[in-house]
Structure 1
Amino acid sequence: MAGIAEGRVVIVTGAGRGLGRAHALAFAAEGAKVVVNDLGVGLDGAPGPQSPAAQVVREIEALGGEAVAHGGDVATPEGAASLVRTAVSSFGRLDTLVNNAGFLRDRMLVNLDEEDWDAVVRVHLKGHFLPLRSAAAWWRAEAKAGRPVAARVVNTSSGAGLLGSVGQGNYSAAKAGILGLTLVAAAEMGRYGIQVNVIAPAARTRMTEQAFAESMAAPAAGAFDAMAPENVSPLVVWLGADASAGVTGRVFEAEGGRITVMEGWRPGPSADRGARWTPAEAGEAAAKLLAAAEPAQPVYGSR
């Protein structure tokens, strides 16, 4: 029986470990040909030993699938462009891009230096924008040439991007930026047959194991592992497949066996006097509106 990604060519960035590896294996299990991107760096973004991308390729091939490794830096224009070229030269086309690459440099804001800010924003936010731009340019050219396009992009945000996270100002800002980027890309690219969605996953990975060591501990033998990264991948595969036709510009949380559609910023209580407020009047109105509004969700780590 063919899988739901049968014949599709899929790029997964940051796919050497954790969520990216789980996504790559899940796509391959559903019949996709996979470009496994991983720069092979440590949690702080410093160069590490040989990239694990080749190992994931071997895993996919051992299961009867097709995959190639890509070791370029997707937060550079050339790295992102070569990622798309690798898919097209290896498999003749590109259908799905999963942006997943990232790392952490956690500090409280007063201790967060500019280098750590720039490094995290570069990898997460720029590392989403550049592959998205390169892939979209290829798909646009295909559409303009009259060839049918049913492209999918799955971006990766976080609960930190939705609510904020104490000690992760750089990461939270970058992940919030990915949400905005997704909404704009979905609106701009739909005319070319490109759907763009974003997930906010929770799982046990190298990036989370220190911050959530207790709550994300491995379960007892035989029990459901709610924090396994493989739990997130089925939704990502569906979003990256033909089966998700018509779904674009949406935000999903995924954790364990739970999937949640996040509804984002929507107008709440409002007051309009039809003229300019004085500061005192604006304050009085704001207080009344806040009393009628839903309470804000707490920032992670603030309780």
Structure 2
Amino acid sequence: MDGHRLCDGRVVAVTGAGRGLGRAHALAFAAEGAHVVVNDLGVGLDGLPGADSPAVQVVEEIRAAGGAATAHGGDVATGEGAASLVRTALETYGRLDTLVNNAGFLRDRMLVNLAEDDWDAVIRVHLKGHFLPLRHAAAYWRTEAKAGRTPAARVVNTSSGAGLLGSVGQGNYSAAKAGILGLTLVAAAELERYGVQVNAIAPAARTRMTETVFAETMTAPEGPGGAFDAMAPENVSPLVVWLGSADSSGVTGRVFEVEGGRVTVMEGWRRGPGTDKGARWTVREVGQTVRELLPRAETPGAVHGT
């Protein structure tokens, strides 16, 4: 094993780490020397409990490769589940350095067919499931900072292109993922004083959630080693590991789109063209003004699925 790995000595908790992106992240952190708390509730794509959790299988993979990991089967969208995630890290390894919020599932419907339960379930797991682990981890880091042990703590949240641009048939998912972006910005601003950096990714990869979108493997020439699978979830993990390491010092409040071999810094909402009358507009005036401003503004990106 390399004695100079990027995350040697760090303790990392990854939610939804039994499959897909979360599993890839957990394995990648372990390969860089981290002790990993592998969280997975073991549910199906619709959020209902599965036969058994895959978290233990990921832990066994990590240990078989010489790494250190422990499983956590709690529901991180509950206060007790989120608190026990942090508690597991502290009781097992004595600390927590990085939180990767990744857990989620889909219940896709067009808006007119979207049931209230489907809205609530997706918002709960994605948005509340980000907030609660972040809240409990942040409370621990604040206590450490106030005791004079300011951490080099890191949080990596998981948004989506659906949160950045919207996605037809995914009103609940798009709203949750957009909410995660807002939460990321607020957390980065509030927690910086305690040594905590908070960033978000908007990944595109082939997982259980996206297998109908990326039904076929996209490949590109890689050289002597063979073809490059551009949709493999493992392509996303290097950025997540770097953001979760001490090496990313100074990077916070940012959103990164990552797909295949491409990484893009997203710039988010910025003020475009505007005008100030200095007094209240009439309805007709403001309508005419908007008509004049819009051609000077950048055209929004297309909503996914249009």
* SS of corresponding position for 1:294: coil
Q: In the alignment, which of 222, 227, 231 is matched to residue 227 of structure 1?
A: 231
2:167 corresponds, among 141, 150, 165, to 165
The answer to whether the 8 A contact 2:152-2:196 is kept is yes
Q: Is structure 2 residue 229 aligned with structure 1 residue 248?
A: no
Deviations 1:37-73 (A, max 9, x none): 0000000001101100000000000110000000000
> 2:15 and 2:161 mapped to 1: Cα distance?
20
- 2:25 aligned partner, one-letter code: H
SS in structure 1 at match of 2:229: coil
Determine if the alignment matches structure 1 residue 19 to structure 2 residue 21: yes
Measured in 1, the distance between the counterparts of 2:219 and 2:302 equals 27
Q: Among residues 119, 124, 127, which one is paired with 1:125 in the alignment? A: 127
**Which position in structure 1 is the counterpart of 2:190?**
188
> Structure 2: how far apart are the matches of 1:121 and 1:110?
17
Shift of 1:296: 1.1
CA drift at 1:218:
5.3
Partner-residue secondary structure (3-state), 1:197: strand
- Secondary structure, in 3 states, of the residue corresponding to 2:38? strand
What's the counterpart of residue 209 of structure 2? 207
The answer for the alignment partner of 2:292 in structure 1 is: 288
CA distance in 2 between partners of 1:132 and 1:148 (Å): 17
Q: How many Å apart are 1:212 and its aligned residue? A: 3.4
Q: Name the SS for the 1:237 alignment partner.
A: helix
1:152 partner SS: strand
What CA deviation, in whole Å up to 9, does each residue of 1:154-187 have, x standing for no partner? 0000000000000000000000000000000001
Query: Secondary structure of 1:252's partner?
Result: strand
Match of 1:259 among 243, 258, 263: 263
**Structure-1-length-normalised TM-score:** 0.97
2:90 is the counterpart of 1:75: no
Q: Distance in 1 between matches of 2:148 and 2:80?
A: 27
Q: Tell me the residue number matched to 1:51.
A: 53
Q: In 2, Cα distance between the equivalents of 1:128 and 1:158?
A: 14
CA contact (8 A) 2:141 2:150 kept: no
RMSD over equivalenced CA pairs, Å: 1.1
CA contact (8 A) 2:11 2:89 kept: yes
Question: Normalized against structure 2, the TM-score is what?
Answer: 0.96
SS at match of 1:190: helix
Aligned residue identity for 2:85: L
| Partner-residue secondary structure (3-state), 1:224 | strand
Q: Partner of 1:25: helix, strand, or coil?
A: helix
**Structure 2 spans left out of the alignment, 5+ residues:** none
- Output the CA distance in 1 between the equivalents of 2:121 and 2:237: 27
Report the Cα offset of residue 148 of structure 1: 2.6
Superposition deviation, residue 203 in structure 1: 0.1
The 1:258/1:219 distance shift into structure 2, 3 A limit, reads closer
Mapped pair 1:89 → 2:101: no
Task: Give yes or no for contact 2:214–2:231 (8 Å, CA) kept in 1.
Answer: no
The residue identity in structure 1 corresponding to 2:212 is: Q
Q: 1:299, 1:169 → 2: CA distance?
A: 11
Per-residue CA shift, 1:81-128, capped at 9, x if unaligned? 000000000001000000000000000000000000000000000000
Identity of aligned residues (%): 78
2:40 equivalent in structure 1:
38
Moved over 6 A (4+): none
AA matched with 1:23: H
Q: Distance in 1 between matches of 2:218 and 2:298?
A: 35
DSSP 3-state at the match of 2:228: coil
Q: CA deviation at 1:76?
A: 0.2
CA contact (8 A) 2:47 2:105 kept: yes
1:270 aligns with 2:274: yes
**Structure 1 residue matching 2:264: 3-state secondary structure:** strand
Letter in 1 for 2:292: K
Q: Which amino acid aligns with 2:254?
A: R
Q: After superposition, give the CA deviation of every residue in 1:14-53 in whole Å (9 maximum; x if it has no partner).
A: 0000000000000000010000000000000011011000
Amino acid in the other structure paired with 2:176? A
- Count of matched residue pairs: 300
* Counterpart for residue 112 of structure 2: 110
Q: What is the CA-CA distance between 1:219 and the residue it aligns to?
A: 4.0
